[in-house]
Amino acid sequence: MSTRATAAKASVNIVTTFLARVQALADDPDALDFTFGNPHEMALPGLPAALRAQVEPRSVDWFAYQTSDRGAQEAVAAGLSAELGLAFEPDDIAMTQGAFGAISLAFALLADAGDEVVIPVPGWFCYEPILHAANLVPVRAALDTETFDLDVDAIARAITPRTRIVIVNSPANPTGRVYPKATWDALASVLDDASRTHGRRIWLLSDEPYRRIRFDGIAFASPAGSYPWTVIDYSFGKVLLAPGQRLGYLALSPLVPADERDELRAAFMPLGLAIGWGFPDAVMQYSVAALEKLSIDMAELTRKRDRMYDALTAAGYEITRPEGTFYLWGRAPGGDAQAFCDALEARGVYVMPGLLFDQPHHFRISLTATMPTIERAIPHLLDVGAEHDQ
Ligand code: PLP
């Protein structure tokens, strides 16, 4: 096995071990599952209808090899332009297999073997394995340990002459934080200075799969509006709560200087091919315009967020109130998240230990669980919380 395969496997080991451990969930109808952000209810009614509408071939080449479908690129560019207030063009968009595929494409597009990529901690547990598989070097930059705000100074300290990309994620997994424009402006100034100091442009990869999942009308700002050298990755898997139907994109900020923008646009197709035919299936791409109009029920998700947050904080839990995503991030009573998660598991309640995010004192709850599941779990969470909070 290659050294990068070994490194990728090692960096995701804790996640695969956890997955194996919670396999029992599939066989236990009484398990109260708050682990991964998977659906627990039947799909949005509009989703199968949108896909079905595109299954019947309309031409002989309906199922031919598809790179980025023009209609999909146009629908995404129009949606993004309206959402972010920047003038995206269809050619700025590369259609991908979800955010996973877009992140891999960004690495192939921007970084050379051995380059360093700064990632947030706590942050999504797949950045590191994807980086290892791409022969790149993850460098961790801690978020603020109390508020989980982006710590721009920590990012500045993590940058070296080998830094090529900084990854940011808002709304953030696992913390649910949404960062304001002022944060991006401060980061842009750090990245500009560091790029000048080291004589090499540092790119920003804005990982935005939860962009449309926000609570209480909180505004969304993309760093693409603050720093021209930004690429955005997105997935439809979150907003549709259908992560198995792989669909997403990588978008170049329209503010990327024109000569670089042309060069990168021209590289989308050959690299999409080179990373293993990273384009989404044809039917998924034909459905984009219809899928752009669909979303999980945010009112129901807000009710679930409020019910869980209010019950836990009233019992003394320290919870970061989610501003976005469908996760709830808290400090484990007693401080030992593994012991806390084990005690919950003994009662049939499964939450994600913070160790998967390099945070041994925290845990994450996925609010994709149903309201009845939440109601059944709350008494257990309160009991176990009281037992551990010595
Ligand atoms: N980025 C973050 C922060 C995520 O949480 C995830 C999925 O959990 C992804 C990217 C990948 O999204 P997808 O599986 O839809 O490609």
Cβ 233 under 6 angstroms from ligand 1: no
Do 386 and 315 form a contact (C-beta atoms < 8 A)?
Answer: yes
Phi, psi angle pair for 366, to nearest 5°: -90, 125
Mutate-to-test residue for ligand 1 from 207, 208, 284, highest number of ligand atoms within 8 A of CB: 207
| pLDDT of 103 above 90 | yes
What number of CA atoms fall less than 13 Å from residue 156's CA on the CB side?
Answer: 12
Do 334 and 388 form a contact (C-beta atoms < 8 A)?
Answer: yes
pLDDT at res. 213 = 98
* DSSP string covering 200-212: SPPEEEEE-TTTT
Spacing, Cα 272 to ligand 1 middle (Å): 18
- Which ligand 1 atom lies nearest to the CA of residue 238? 15
| Domain extents in the chain | 3-44+296-388, 52-291
Spacing, Cα 328 to ligand 1 middle (Å): 16
Class of domain 52-291: alpha beta
Three-state DSSP class for residue 124: coil
Average pLDDT over residues 97-118: 98
Do 197 and 179 form a contact (C-beta atoms < 8 A)?
Answer: no
- Which ligand 1 atom lies nearest to the CA of residue 325? 5
**CATH superfamily label, 3-44+296-388:** Aspartate Aminotransferase, domain 1 (3.90.1150.10)
Q: What is the pLDDT of residues 368-387, one digit of tens each?
A: 999 999 999 999 999 999 99
The rounded distance, in Å, linking the Cα atoms of 385 and 174 is: 20
Q: What is the pLDDT of residues 46-100, one digit of tens each?
A: 999 999 999 999 999 999 999 999 999 999 999 999 999 999 999 999 999 999 9
The token pair that represents 259 in the structure block: 């000569």
| Ligand 1, atom 10: closest residue by C-alpha | 99
Average pLDDT over residues 147-165: 98
Cβ 174 under 6 angstroms from ligand 1: no
| Ligand 1, atom 12: closest residue by C-alpha | 99
Cβ 98 under 6 angstroms from ligand 1: yes
* Contacts of 83-90 spanning 24+ positions with Cβ under 8 A: 83/211, 83/220, 84/222, 84/224, 84/225, 85/225, 86/222, 86/224, 86/225, 86/253, 86/254, 86/255, 87/254, 88/251, 88/254, 89/254
Q: 324 pLDDT band (50/70/90 cuts)?
A: very high
Instruction: Report strand pairing: 163-169 vs 116-121.
Output: parallel
The rounded distance, in Å, linking the Cα atoms of 124 and 213 is: 16
| pLDDT of 389 above 90 | no
Cβ 237 under 6 angstroms from ligand 1: yes
Do 3-44+296-388 and 52-291 have matching folds?
no
Radius of gyration of the chain measured on its C-alpha atoms: 21
pLDDT at res. 87 = 98
Spacing, Cα 57 to ligand 1 middle (Å): 31
The arrangement of strands across the sheet holding 137-142 comes to 93-96, 248-252, 230-235, 203-207, 163-169, 116-121, 137-142
Do 86 and 253 form a contact (C-beta atoms < 8 A)?
Answer: yes
Q: What is the pLDDT of residues 202-234, one digit of tens each?
A: 999 999 999 999 999 999 999 999 999 999 999
| pLDDT of 44 above 70 | yes
**pLDDT above 70 coverage of the chain, percent:** 100
pLDDT at res. 390 = 65
Q: What is the pLDDT of residues 329-373, one digit of tens each?
A: 999 999 999 999 999 999 999 999 999 999 999 999 999 999 999
Do 388 and 332 form a contact (C-beta atoms < 8 A)?
Answer: yes
Cβ 240 under 6 angstroms from ligand 1: no
Which conformational region is residue 222 in: left (phi greater than 0), alpha (psi within -120 to 50 degrees), or beta? beta
Do 260 and 266 form a contact (C-beta atoms < 8 A)?
Answer: no
- Matching residue, tokens 């984009």: 288
Spacing, Cα 201 to ligand 1 middle (Å): 26
Average pLDDT over residues 232-261: 98
Provide the β-strand partners of residue 139.
118
User: Which helix (H) or strand (E) covers residue 24, if one does?
Assistant: helix 24-27
- Looking at this predicted complex, what is its ipTM? 0.99
Cβ 207 under 6 angstroms from ligand 1: yes
Do 66 and 279 form a contact (C-beta atoms < 8 A)?
Answer: yes
- Which ligand 1 atom lies nearest to the CA of residue 207? 1
Phi, psi angle pair for 16, to nearest 5°: -70, -35
Cβ 248 under 6 angstroms from ligand 1: yes
pLDDT at res. 23 = 84
Cβ 173 under 6 angstroms from ligand 1: yes
Three-state DSSP class for residue 352: strand
The rounded distance, in Å, linking the Cα atoms of 315 and 307 is: 12
Q: What is the mean pLDDT of the chain?
A: 97
Average pLDDT over residues 30-37: 95
